[in-house]
């Protein structure tokens, strides 16, 4: 896969996070990924309903992509019931 295609996948991942789109996250994240995105993000979105993750820098080399992000959001309550 090309470096630009790898970066595009990461951009799509953060777009899905910002739109709280769990279906798209399922498409983008490997099923054997150690952290379950739904279990992690759902309570986080509950506590920070306007959470936004912006990409500050993105670097690709080989089959790896590094991302520096800036997260913003308003804490409105507990993320754990």
Write out pLDDT tens, residues 38-73: 888 989 999 999 999 999 999 999 999 999 999 999
SS3 69: strand
CATH number at 3-72 = 3.10.450.50
Per-residue exposure over 55-74, b if at least 16 CB sit within 10 Å of its own CB, e if not: eeebebeeeebebeeeeeee
Cβ atoms within 10 Å, residue 16: 20
Per-domain residue ranges of the chain: 3-72
Mean pLDDT of the chain: 91
Closest C-alpha to 17, from 79, 71, 80, 75: 71
Percent of the chain surpassing pLDDT 90:
65
């Amino acid at each position: 896969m090309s470096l630009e295609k790898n970066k595009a996948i990461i951009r799509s991942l953060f777009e899905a996070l910002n739109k709280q789109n769990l279906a798209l996250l399922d498409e983008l994240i490997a099923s054997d990924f150690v952290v379950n995105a739904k279990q992690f993000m759902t309570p986080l979105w509950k506590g920070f309903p306007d959470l936004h993750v912006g990409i500050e820098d993105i670097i690709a080399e080989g089959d790896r992509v590094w991302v520096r992000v800036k997260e913003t959001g308003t804490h409105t309550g507990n993320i754990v019931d």
